[in-house]
Amino acid sequence: MCLGCAIGVSILLMSLDQKPLVQFPRKGFSNAFGFLQESVSWIPRMTKVYRENQHLLNQLSHTAFREDQYQEVILENQRLRKLLEFKERNLFEFIPAEVIGRGTGGLPGSIHLNIGSKDGCRKNMVLLNDKGLIGKIVSVGPSTSIGQLVTDPNFRVSAKVQRSRVLGIVRWMFGNICQLDGVVQRSDVQIGDLIVTSGYSNIYHSGIAIGRVFEIAPDKEGLFLRILLRTEVDFGKVEEVFVLKTQDNR
């Protein structure tokens, strides 16, 4: 009887998943939980911070020297651009964020970040790091937010082969393996090709790296290719991410 009630309420909740009736308390809960997470997330970071500090001190001395050289190059670049009358490139702005927690569910599909609407973070902004695409923001609170990872079973992104511009849709399989769906046979795809976002989306810009192809085989039906790619991002160990700040979420 009790289990029946619990199952009934759970199924009701599932059917109301995207409705404000569920989304409103969810936002409140995740904000409160995010606050708790943020206040203790420094504990496991202590040893890492010490090691990083040592490493960064070493790097700093090298970087200071390089900085001077870069300044020279930048000035030179500006002079040359002026001479050629090139327009300034519209560079993207990134918001750095730290992962303060992960989804408590078993499937590794989401991360909690220490930035929120106060920092300029908005829903559907893209998450990435130096190795490529990580996911997107799905929920934003005042000072924390939740990101959906590529490893979420429901995550899909339109992608293309960088070399041959062949289009497909990327979805996660397991670990750091994804599959490029919807590529017809005889398409120009080779092992080692880099798969990037296609840009045919309201969310993802074109050219964000997703992974490299390591296996190509015809699928069971024989119409499409089964293309597997390996992401360079280790989703289980992501600790810092960048949120791609855009004016129109794109």
Q: Which is nearer to another protein, 3 or 91 (CB)?
A: 3
CB of 21 to another protein, least distance (A): 10
Closest residue by Cα to residue 217 from 178, 191, 198: 191
Other CB atoms within 10 A of residue 223 CB: 10
Cα separation, 35 vs 98, in Å, equals 14
CA dihedral 197, 19, 15, 172 (to 10 degrees): 10
CB of 14 to another protein, least distance (A): 4
CB of 176 to another protein, least distance (A): 8
Q: Which is nearer to another protein, 159 or 196 (CB)?
A: 159
Q: Which is nearer to another protein, 29 or 65 (CB)?
A: 29
Contact 189, 179 (CB under 8 A): no
For 140, counting Cβ atoms within 10 Å of its Cβ (0-12 exposed, 13-18 middle, 19+ buried), the class is buried
Q: What 8-state DSSP symbol labels residue 90? A: -
For residue 112 the two structure tokens come to 């909690």
| Helices (H), ranges, the chain | 2-15, 20-40, 46-84
CB of 134 to another protein, least distance (A): 14
CB of 190 to another protein, least distance (A): 25
CB of 94 to another protein, least distance (A): 22
Q: Which is nearer to another protein, 10 or 164 (CB)?
A: 10
Q: Which is nearer to another protein, 76 or 234 (CB)?
A: 234
CB of 121 to another protein, least distance (A): 15
For residue 162 the two structure tokens come to 């960088």
Q: Which is nearer to another protein, 39 or 71 (CB)?
A: 39
Q: Which whole-number Å values give the CA distances from 100 to 41, 234, 238, 243, in the listed order?
A: 5, 17, 10, 15
Q: Which is nearer to another protein, 45 or 66 (CB)?
A: 45
Cα separation, 5 vs 15, in Å, equals 15
Cα separation, 167 vs 224, in Å, equals 12
* Chain residues in the site for another protein (CB under 8 A): 2-3, 6-7, 9-14, 16-17, 22, 25-26, 29-30, 33, 36-37, 40-41, 43-44, 100-110, 112, 138-139, 146, 148, 151-154, 171, 173-175, 235-237
